[in-house]
Amino acid sequence: MTQADPPERVLVPTVRGPVDAADLGVTLPHEHLFVLSAEFQSNYPHLWDREAGVRAAVRQLSAAYDAGVRTLVDMTVLGQGRDIGLVGAVAERTPINIVVATGIYSVDGIPLFARFRGPGCAVEAEEPLIDLLTRDVTTGIGDTAVRAGLVKFACESVPPDAAAHRMAAVTAEVHRRTGVPVVVHCDPFEGNGLALVRLLEREGVAPGSVVIAHAGDGGDLGRLRALAETGCLLGYDRYGMTPFASDAQRNATLAELVRAGHVAQLLVSQDHAAHIDYLTPEQKAHTYPDWTYVHLFTKVLPRLLREPGIDEATVHTLLVDNPRRLLSRVPAPHPEAHSEEAHAI
């Protein structure tokens, strides 16, 4: 047969089932539906009305759909109250594809569930987390067939502490077994992103498969460039969380990285949650007035497009191509090609 084979179809798992990667469209790669303190919710059920919460999330997603969003990644993992039943109830009532993640969010060490058992622990044992997180990717979460498309952990210690070393080993093994990209919640202010990329690299994860989430909150351009030079993806994923960084600051450094040849490594999102029980809705509205699923579209992108070197094609790369490649489990291209020419711009 001499005819070229058609390009292989890549299917991305979503809550409603697999979706052709080519059909993902505009994608928000780091958001949340519900961030819940699970024990507080189960012990004090009067705190939050689940049904009303689902309805509110559906309404907010409808605004995102109207703004052009077709896919949203819910990065809520264990430690943030991931509840696949709630996510499923939303997915049934929105046209937006929802991709979910697995992993552990624990910024103060390994959760108690796994703290005393595992390699090097008081009870020397096999790592209990690897099979659990792998199951989320290969079999399904809980008693559902919903499979996770990414694996995440969190590290705010500078330099990365023992818990981060353990979680890097866990997520690297899940990545090796399944191919899902690794997303790390970092500390962008003290700046531990570079150390986390190197840590994961030592565990066998190529930087092109690593997202340093929240990197774009940091204002140190030299540090951001050094991070980008590794070939990792940088999360400009908290637009609207202005107490951490202004839109103008994020846009300025993002545009610098685009002009330096790193456009394929940048992800834009808002880290928004339809409901997060760390704050009352009133506190949330007061502290983060711009924090929504649509802030990017109403305020950020129109201003970003005024930056030199940014055009509609750049925005398409950020919102469509980069998330699609990430969710297709394809590493980001290494930025080495840009060195001479791009630096001269």
Of 74-82, 148-156, 222-230, 302-310: span binding Zn ion (CB under 5 A): 74-82
Has 295 been labeled as part of a binding site?
no
Q: Which stretch binds Zn ion (CB under 5 A): 71-79, 143-151, 166-174, 315-323?
A: 71-79
Identity of the residue, 291 or 297, whose beta carbon is nearer to Zn ion in the bound complex: 291
CB of 72 to Zn ion, least distance (A): 12
Give, in order, the Cα–Cα distances in Å from 175 to each of 138, 152, 157, 291.
11, 10, 23, 31
Gap between the Cα atoms of 184 and 211, Å rounded: 6
> Rounded to the nearest whole angstrom, what is the least distance from the CB of residue 333 to Zn ion in the complex?
25
- The two structure tokens encoding residue 339: 């060195």
Q: How far is the CB of 32 from Zn ion (least distance, A)?
A: 6
Cβ atoms of 63 and 113 closer than 8 Å: no
Stretch that binds Zn ion, among 57-65, 153-161, 271-279, 293-301 (CB under 5 A): 271-279
Residue closer to Zn ion by CB (options 217, 271) is 271
Nearer to Zn ion by C-beta: 269 or 314?
A: 269
Counted residue by residue, the chain has a size of 345
Amino acid at 228: A
299 known ligand binder: no
Residue 214 annotated as part of some ligand binding site: yes
Residue 217 makes contact with Zn ion by CB under 5 A: no
Residues 6+ apart with CB under 8 A from 317: 263, 264
Question: Should residue 33 be labelled a site residue for Zn ion when binding is judged by CB under 5 A?
Answer: no
Is position 334 annotated in a ligand binding site? no
Show the tokens assigned to 137.
Answer: 């990717």
Helices (H), the chain: 38-43, 50-66, 84-91, 112-115, 128-138, 162-178, 193-202, 221-229, 247-259, 281-287, 295, 301-304, 312-316, 322-327, 339-344
Choose the stretch contacting Zn ion; rule: CB under 5 A; options: 151-159, 269-277, 297-305, 333-341. Answer: 269-277
Q: Cβ contacts of residue 183 below 8 Å, gap of 6+? A: 30, 75, 101, 103, 150, 151, 152, 210, 211, 213, 235
Q: Check: CB of residue 270 under 8 Å from CB of residue 291.
A: yes
127 near Zn ion (CB under 5 A):
no
If binding is defined by CB under 5 A, does position 74 make contact with Zn ion? no
Task: Check residue 271 for interaction with Zn ion (CB under 5 A).
Answer: yes
CA distances from 251 to 7, 109, 135, 170, 217 (A): 35, 33, 38, 34, 10
Considering beta carbons, is residue 171 or 314 the nearer one to Zn ion?
A: 171
343 is in an annotated binding site: no
The two tokens of residue 245 are: 């960084």
Nearer to Zn ion, 33 or 137 (CB): 33
Segment lying near Zn ion (by CB under 5 A), choices 18-26, 194-202, 225-233, 270-278: 270-278
User: 128: how many CB neighbours lie within 10 A of its CB?
Assistant: 13
Task: Report the residue number, 235 or 261, with the smaller CB distance to Zn ion.
Answer: 235
Q: Is 75 in the site for Zn ion (CB under 5 A)?
A: yes
Please report the sign of the dihedral spanned by the C-alpha atoms of residue 220, residue 235, residue 137, residue 326.
negative
212 binds Zn ion (CB under 5 A): no
Q: Is 30 annotated as a binding residue?
A: yes
**Residues annotated in the binding site for Zn(2+), as ranges?**
30, 32, 152, 185, 214, 271
**Residues annotated in the binding site, as ranges?**
30, 32, 152, 185, 214, 271
Q: Which residues of the shown chain bind Zn ion in the complex (CB under 5 A)? A: 75, 271
